[in-house]
């Protein structure tokens, strides 16, 4: 049986339309990270975004079979930009806290580490009592700044837009100590640029402030939260999570 050319043409057009439809059905997800918080996220010399958060984001997108784009955004504008639909999710070491849960939804955690204090190596501060009357640096709009406000009221808290800026000030003696994630500070003091300083002490997390770990933030009511949670569980089960974690850490960063 011969098929008229016009029917063949119509069938071809229909097939192409079906193919295009299936291709466009792949979910597009724009993910924001800070790009200034090593080893979790940072901007490489070539301008590309790197780090644990970025590798986890890529693994989750692959697991979800989503078409993802990862972009940089200033930390203190993350949640407003998410709410303004400039991107769909935040994977930037953002702790799941009661305060943030009033503004956004989160996936379950993808890692959990606590805070710490770092001081110059020649500092006379030997314990937390020694921070009284001293200037303490922290990144603005972080759980670590909130922790210092609550638990170190006798210190003068100085806030910075980025971690790089407080690091520069403690190097140059403009602040006496800094507070941040224990992993961030530990990796920094082992580097050449952090050779000035040492870890004074890790801190006991305050669940009300530090939350239950870092999660992936999405807009209120967005089903992406559940999709990311399922993908986190899947990459942990497959071993992909451990592969990424071992690239950056010599301990279980997922935590309790």
Q: Which residue has the tokens 């050449």?
A: 192
170 and 108 part of one domain: no
SS3 193: coil
Q: What is the pLDDT of residue 256?
A: 77
175 and 194 part of one domain: yes
179 and 154 part of one domain: yes
Instruction: Report how many domains make up the chain.
Output: 2
**Do 219 and 105 contact (CB within 8 A), yes or no?**
yes
58 and 179 part of one domain: no
Residue 16 lies in a domain: no
CA distances from 195 to 89, 121, 199 (A): 35, 8, 11
Full domain range(s) for residue 102? 27-112+212-248
pTM, two decimals, is 0.84
pLDDT at 133 over 70: yes
Q: What is the pLDDT of residue 19?
A: 38
Q: What is the pLDDT of residue 21?
A: 39
CATH code, domain with 195: 3.40.190.10
62 and 106 part of one domain: yes
87-104 in b/e form (b: 16+ CB < 10 A) is: bbbbbbbbbbbeebeeeb
Rounded average pLDDT over 150-176? 97
124 and 203 part of one domain: yes
199-230 pLDDT tens trace: 999 999 999 999 999 999 999 999 999 999 99
Q: What is the pLDDT of residue 78?
A: 98
pLDDT at 42 over 80: yes
Q: What is the pLDDT of residue 177?
A: 98
Q: How far apart are CA 53 and CA 34, in angstroms?
A: 10
197 and 127 part of one domain: yes
5-30 pLDDT tens trace: 444 444 444 444 443 333 345 689 99
178 and 63 part of one domain: no
39 and 87 part of one domain: yes
Please name the residue ranges forming H helices in the chain: 5-24, 52-64, 78-83, 98-101, 143-151, 163-171, 182-190, 207-210, 224-238, 240-248
Q: How far apart are CA 222 and CA 60, in angstroms?
A: 17
């Amino acid at each position: 049986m011969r098929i008229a050319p016009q029917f063949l043409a119509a069938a071809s057009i229909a097939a192409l339309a079906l193919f295009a439809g299936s291709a466009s059905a792949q979910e597009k997800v724009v993910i924001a990270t800070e790009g200034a918080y090593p080893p979790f996220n940072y901007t490489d010399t070539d301008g590309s975004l790197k780090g644990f958060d970025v590798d986890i984001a890529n693994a989750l997108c692959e697991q979800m079979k989503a078409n993802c784009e990862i972009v940089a955004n200033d930390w203190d504008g993350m949640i407003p930009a998410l709410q303004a639909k400039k991107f769909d999710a935040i994977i930037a070491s953002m702790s799941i806290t009661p305060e943030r849960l009033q503004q956004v939804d989160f996936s379950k955690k993808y890692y959990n580490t606590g805070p710490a204090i770092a001081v110059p190596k020649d500092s006379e501060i030997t314990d937390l009592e020694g921070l009284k009357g001293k200037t303490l640096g922290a990144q603005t709009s972080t759980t670590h700044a909130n922790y210092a406000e609550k638990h170190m009221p006798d210190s003068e808290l100085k806030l910075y837009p980025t971690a790089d800026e407080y690091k520069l000030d403690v190097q140059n003696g403009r602040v006496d100590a800094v507070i941040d994630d224990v992993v961030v500070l530990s990796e920094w003091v082992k580097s050449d640029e952090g050779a000035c300083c040492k870890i004074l002490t890790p801190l006991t997390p305050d669940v009300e402030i530090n939350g239950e770990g870092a999660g992936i933030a999405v807009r209120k009511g967005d089903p992406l939260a559940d999709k990311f949670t399922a993908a986190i569980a899947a990459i942990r089960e497959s071993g992909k999570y451990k592969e990424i974690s071992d690239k950056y850490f010599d301990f279980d960063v997922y935590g309790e």
